Structure 1
Amino acid sequence: MRKAEDNLIDQVGQILHDNTFNKKNVLENLKNYNASFTVINEDEVDKDLIFSISEIKKVAISYRLRFIDTVFYKHELPYECVLKIDYLNSTYKKEVQGLKVLSTGKFLKNKNSTDPALLFSPTNLGNYYLLHDWGKPLKWSRAISNWPLRNIETLFLTLIITTLIITLCLPTYLITLDRKATYWCAYRIGVFFHLFIFNMGVTAYITFAFSKNLSTGIWNSEKDFG
């Protein structure tokens, strides 16, 4: 009877040791990047959780998110992520590596942020498999507020619309001293172009002074997290 109890204790100890080793191995893979990592076979996972790089890029640009390797993420990921990775490792006999995080710049720099985040693993067909997501859901207001910074076209269009609204709101007596001038006069057109040039200058200053780069140029950039 004593021998049976000892065997049971030994088996439990071995299981705990194996689980601890697996968790440590998963955490090491999250923090190490290897260009020759093993990828997930798309035939072995849920197709609804597979996304192309173009789909991820579209979401990242629309909501001004960053898509970077986990090696550049300095904080601990949720334990659920580790469990799911460990499950994939044991089920499909693969060491899941080369993982990427899709989230806001605030989340990637601040461990206390509650912004939404998604963890992806590359697949054998060049796509990405969604392993886990956490945090608050994305709000449509974020996409609207960041619309001007999507690309050069949206920024230029925003400047035109903003300048046009300001120009149309200005009363004629603030535009010219000519009392005979009507609302739709040449002076208003001149004010529009002057305001447009001024707004472009202010935008350029803010862009360089506060590093407000366009989303198309930073969505997969890791320079701020190295």
Structure 2
Amino acid sequence: MKNVNLELELKTIRDKEKNSDLLLQVEKILLEDEISRNEISNQLSLKNEAINKNALVFDLLKTENIFHINHIEKICVDYRLRFLDSSLFKNNIPEEAISKIKNLEKEHQTKLAGFKIVAPSKAFHLLNYDDPILFIPIGNNYYYLVHKWGDEFNWYRKLLVWPIKNLSNFTITSILVSIIVALLVPENNLSKSVPLAPLIVFLFAFKSIVAVFAYYFFMMGKNFNEEIWQRKYYNN
């Protein structure tokens, strides 16, 4: 009599059933899983702009994953991001995100739709007017965070886009830069020969900054953060 190797014994039992329904059952399960994942992928690529609510069991939701539209708007405006339909997202949705959607659907006994993503403009297929976070709507302008992936944003991104956050920020930035330019211009005898010379230099610098910005920013179809965070067009 030999000692029993449980692993080998388990494999022996399984192998005896290879000709039974075991393999068919496994194949069916895997096929159903693949079909389910494909359905989720297809749903992510569909336009769901009209869907603003999913039937979820409130007691099963994680409070830390619930966000109001105002919270999403603030982070989009601060970091110059867009909050758009997942059908416009041009990068691949990771398998981990699909798995989380599948688990949510199973847990809440429902089919999810209306997917939204927060990401930089370059991550979307923006339409001509002529590091991402996946959300689903749960009603009353509240959204549930499903999955986050990608790299973290650089700490200075918020500072870089602060001047173009809105018109007020741009005006303040233009004034500060104009003051610095005026202070850097050597006075010499300029103040004696030209009355209010520093003020004239400041006004000239301010006018030049605004003109250059208007040409580059607006003529290129750009706009302030507060205006674009939910727009699906790149030139409006």
TM-score normalised over the length of structure 2: 0.83
- Alpha-carbon spacing, 1:215–1:41, altered in 2? closer, same or farther (3 Å): farther
User: Which amino acid is the alignment partner of residue 198 of structure 2?
Assistant: R
1:41–1:124: 8 Å Cα contact kept in structure 2?
A: no
* Amino-acid identity (%): 28
Q: CA RMSD in A?
A: 2.2
2:89–2:123: 8 Å Cα contact kept in structure 1?
A: no
Q: What's the secondary structure of 2:201's corresponding residue?
A: helix
List per-residue Cα deviations over 1:89-136 (Å, max 9, x = no partner).
111111111111101122335xxxxxx111111113421111111111
Q: What's the secondary structure of 1:75's corresponding residue?
A: coil
5+ long unaligned stretches in structure 2: 1-12, 126-130
Give the alignment of 1:1-226 within 5 angstroms: 5-34=19-48, 35-36=50-51, 39=54, 40-108=56-124, 116-173=131-188, 175=190, 178=193, 186-224=196-234
User: Which amino acid is the alignment partner of residue 226 of structure 2?
Assistant: T
- The 2-side partners of 1:73 and 1:29 are apart by 13
- The 2-side partners of 1:219 and 1:22 are apart by 32
User: Which amino acid is the alignment partner of residue 102 of structure 1?
Assistant: V
After superposing the two structures, state which structure 1 stretch, 120-129 or 148-157, moved more: 120-129
- Alpha-carbon spacing, 1:174–1:131, altered in 2? closer, same or farther (3 Å): farther
2:222–2:234: 8 Å Cα contact kept in structure 1?
A: no
1:38–1:94: 8 Å Cα contact kept in structure 2?
A: no
Count how many residue pairs are aligned between Structure 1 and Structure 2: 214
User: Which amino acid is the alignment partner of residue 21 of structure 1?
Assistant: I
- The 1-side partners of 2:159 and 2:74 are apart by 14
1:42–1:124: 8 Å Cα contact kept in structure 2?
A: no
User: Which amino acid is the alignment partner of residue 12 of structure 1?
Assistant: V
2:179–2:202: 8 Å Cα contact kept in structure 1?
A: yes
5+ long unaligned stretches in structure 1: 110-115
- Alpha-carbon spacing, 1:144–1:134, altered in 2? closer, same or farther (3 Å): same
1:151–1:216: 8 Å Cα contact kept in structure 2?
A: yes
2:51–2:113: 8 Å Cα contact kept in structure 1?
A: no
1:38–1:95: 8 Å Cα contact kept in structure 2?
A: no
1:144 CA drift (Å): 0.2
1:121–1:130: 8 Å Cα contact kept in structure 2?
A: yes
